[in-house]
Amino acid sequence: MNPAPNLVLVGPMGAGKTSIGRRLAERFGLQFVDADHHIEQRTGATIASIFEHVGEAGFRERERCALAELLAGEGQLVATGGGAVLDAQNRQRIRERGFVVYLSAGIESQLKRLQRDRTRPLLQRADREQVLRELALQREPLYREVADLVMDTDGLTAADAATRLCLQLASRWNSDGVAA
């Protein structure tokens, strides 16, 4: 068990971190924070614009600072960006300050959920499926490394996934930071 002051969702883009996270935060009485949205608010620029102007490395530095700030708080559900686990400091902070749920999703589910999305810089290529496969190979072991709980979201609506996850969390974590 991980008695932690925050609930943190990790996983690939299209796994449902934001949509499931909003529902879970409401059910547990937590403040919902989407890390990417937080970065956009702080910088006044979209993630795509940040990537365009300072590259992925510049974005990752902003992400590291944002997660350090967010995870210093308590009583939050933090939906991380898909690549947040790439940084060793982020992984350490996430583990120390959160009960971590890895929301997994297969490539087909991701493609379906992201088919109309044109905002994600890493997917602005014709070979989206290949990009998602490469990201999964690199990131999936890191998601598992930090996870206290793994949930597959394939074939589930955000509402159904949130309900199932809520039941699992109720017996393993509570928002007071005490493992059940």
Annotated binding site for Mg(2+): 18
Residue list for the binding site for substrate: 36, 60, 82, 139
| 91 vs 84: CA distance, rounded Å | 8
Helices (H), the chain: 17-28, 35-43, 47-71, 88-97, 107-113, 128-146, 158-170
Per the CB < 8 A criterion, the answer to whether 165 and 151 are in contact is: yes
* Binding-site residue ranges: 14-19, 36, 60, 82, 120, 139
Give the closest residue to 172 by CA, choosing from 156, 151, 158.
151
Q: Are 99 and 8 in contact (CB under 8 A)?
A: yes
Annotated binding site for ATP: 14-19, 120
